[in-house]
Amino acid sequence: MKMIKREMTSELLQVAKEYPVVTIIGPRQSGKTTLAKQAFPEHRYYSLEDPDIRRFATEDPRAFLKSATSYAIFDEIQRVPELLSYIQTLVDNDNRKGRYILTGSHQLKLSADISQSLAGRTAILTLLPLTIVEVLSVNTMESKEDFIFNGFFPRIYNDKMNPTRAYANYFRTYVEKDVRQLINLKNIAQFEKFMKLLAGRVGQILNLNSLANDVGTSSTTLKEWISILEASFIIFRLEPYFANFGKRVIKSPKVYFTDTGLLAYLLDIESPQMVSRDPLIGNIFENLVILEILKKRLNQGLSPNLYFFRDSNGHEVDLLFKQGAELTAIEIKSSETFNRSFAKGIIKFQKLSQSNTLGYVVYAGDFVAETEHYKIVNFLNSSDVL
């Protein structure tokens, strides 16, 4: 199997020249360990998921770090957060760059621990699953249905796995496991129902009260569950853009999944053919494109700066990218045939914002062009809009 070179590699190598510690965070199975090993083949590898290694690191962290080589990879560092304080002392005494590479899967816990122990000493990069370009380097898929159904976890392609089976196991092994570690989850069936209902609302304005009624629990509980899913990189929120628009705009976020394969599994989609027939195809495709753009920013070590826009009059834009004073408005359509109506949200926003706003329509067709107000691009090139 051809080795997949990750787009984050150059950024990872660069920050390792600037910081003594580099921390790679992201969902389980997104390729953090493989990336670290590929980028730093001379570093010795330690998995803190291994019970024996974890016990040694927990019971005698000084001896553990003394036994480790000067350059090391510590995988799933959130399993032994006490190590961070000892690593701080070591790098303060010896500031060699790229000395320790850490990986982790729990965003909130790890970020809090790092802020306390390694502030100013570590660069933090977020690695999501493969990009479309990375998949195409080892696979010849072209249809949106194939990309959505197969998802982007490296093992799907490296091991030629059945996506439905792989995501079922991923959900049971990792999602439920991580959630149970972070909260006292008593009712697994209710949580599974919540996940499926949340998938059914992908790309929609998040209404916790409505969702809580359907799940049969409180909105407070759902708020906690959503925070945990974010912390475990299962979902992400897209916040609304409301600068200079006052009370006219919607101020609740939308929720998307960090992998379309998991989303398809939760929607009971069991083949690529079922993707295009799903009533949520527009929202699912939107998730695919937004993910690609998000990955590009994160792979460059940059803040996403991504939003959506919707006002009380129903004017909306699927995605906004803000860079300085410049805005890029992006409309996303699953259709394979272009229609000028796809761009009406862009043109309206350009008038409303009275700012320098670029426009893109990303869709599933092959016709590409450029007009006075916007460019038309195929989804395979969706990351090129930035």
Instruction: Give the Cα separation of 29 and 167 in Å (integer).
Output: 11
198, exposed or middle or buried, with CB in 10 Å at 0-12, 13-18, 19+?
buried
Query: Among residues 291, 320, 348, which one ends one of the domains?
Result: 291
Together in a domain, 225 and 330: no
Instruction: Give the Cα separation of 158 and 86 in Å (integer).
Output: 36
Please report, for the domain that includes residue 52, its CATH number: 3.40.50.300
Nearest alpha-carbon partner for 364 in 147, 140, 143: 143
CA distances for 236 relative to 97, 298, 346, angstroms: 32, 13, 24
Q: What is the pLDDT of residues 267-322, one digit of tens each?
A: 999 999 999 999 999 999 999 999 999 999 999 999 999 999 998 888 899 999 99
User: Which pLDDT value is given to residue 180?
Assistant: 74
* Residue 2 covered by a domain: no
Reported confidence tier of residue 115, pLDDT bands at 50, 70, 90:
confident
Together in a domain, 234 and 287: yes
Together in a domain, 224 and 330: no
Q: What is the pLDDT of residues 164-203, one digit of tens each?
A: 999 999 998 877 777 777 777 778 888 999 999 999 999 9
Domain that holds residue 103: 9-126
Nearest alpha-carbon partner for 203 in 131, 317, 146, 282: 282
Instruction: Give the Cα separation of 220 and 218 in Å (integer).
Output: 5
User: Which pLDDT value is given to residue 127?
Assistant: 97
Together in a domain, 220 and 282: yes
| Count: domains in the chain | 3
Residues 346-365 have a mean pLDDT of 91
Reported confidence tier of residue 242, pLDDT bands at 50, 70, 90:
confident
* Residue 120 covered by a domain: yes
Contact criterion met (CB below 8 Å) for 137 and 4 = yes
| pLDDT(91) > 70 | yes
Together in a domain, 76 and 25: yes
* Residue 296 covered by a domain: no
Q: What is the pLDDT of residues 5-35, one digit of tens each?
A: 999 999 999 999 999 999 999 999 999 999 9
Residues 126-155 have a mean pLDDT of 95
Q: Higher pLDDT residue, 196 or 228?
A: 196
Together in a domain, 20 and 109: yes
| pLDDT(81) > 70 | yes
| pLDDT(246) > 70 | no
